[in-house]
Structure 1
Amino acid sequence: MSLNIVHLVGRAGSNPEIRYLDSGKILCKFNIAVNRRSKKEDQPDWFELEIWDKTAEIAANYVKKGSLVGIQGSLKIDSWNDKTTGNKRTKPLIRVNNLDLLTSKKDSESNSGSDDF
């Protein structure tokens, strides 16, 4: 038996970008900064999120840069050929199944534009 489950809590590093595809699907992408438990001086780890359909719309409407979110999803490795070099490139991202909005409206207003994670 194998499992591919990721649970993270972090702050949005950017405002979500939403795309409406010709197929009728909705795609939302943004990244989150997740602090490590070890030392406060450590730099956060960054994860790119891929969110689809109704959850994508919710993210686009309610998540802003600095918002605290919890996510549950699976790790996905995107791969493509670089247009300039022709080399194969890969990038990990998290395909989100569940999104929890953990920032209150008051906190969201005070965090907008903040670069502190």
Structure 2
Amino acid sequence: MNNVVLVGRLTKDPELRYIPGTGTAVANFNLAIDRDYTKKDGTKDTDFIPVEVIGKGAEFCANYLQKGRLVGIQGSIRVDNYKTQQGENRTFTKVHTMKVNALDSKKENHENDRFEPAGLDPQGFQAIEDDDLPF
């Protein structure tokens, strides 16, 4: 089974091209994904994962996604082999996908733009003071 699900931010706008002959849309971009652990100096390493989107999903990416957007993708790992002009064999690994979901809005998120109803703390909880509660 070869299935991968990733959530990350685009490092640049998607590049859209069409396959000659078939006209199938192909979009390429990289996702920046922080690793789970924090180093002793408080920083995290980031992986930059190349992604290839085929078909209508590619056109969606080109029209609606841009650098910095948070996306979720589902696809499979592909390993391509090729020869350089010098005759050296090279390997290139990427995520091949047809499913892409934008996980944030185009509008930039600002702390002052967030809606917080009165009486709620920043996490969205309201304090209840009732001596009749059993806990």
Q: TM-score, normalised by structure 1?
A: 0.85
Matches within 5 A, 1:50-89: 50-83=52-85, 85-89=86-90
Q: How many residues align?
A: 105
Residue type of the partner of 2:75?
A: G
- Structure 2 residues without counterparts, runs of 5 or longer: 110-135
Residue type of the partner of 1:31?
A: N
The structure whose residues are more often helix, as a share, is: 1
CA RMSD of aligned residues (A): 1.3
Aligned counterparts of 1:43 and 1:61: Cα–Cα separation in 2: 30
- Structure 1 residues without counterparts, runs of 5 or longer: 109-117
Aligned counterparts of 1:68 and 1:4: Cα–Cα separation in 2: 23
The structure whose residues are more often strand, as a share, is: 1
Q: Work out which structure has the larger RCO, using CA pairs closer than 8 Å and 6 or more positions apart in sequence.
A: 1
Q: 4+ runs of 1 displaced by more than 6 Å? A: none
Structure number with larger C-alpha Rg: 2
Question: Aligned pair 1:94/2:92, yes or no?
Answer: no
Note the alpha carbon deviations across 1:36-89, whole angstroms, 9 max, x for none. 121161221111000011000000011101110000000000110011x21100
CA contact (8 A) 2:35 2:44 kept: yes
Q: TM-score, normalised by structure 2?
A: 0.74
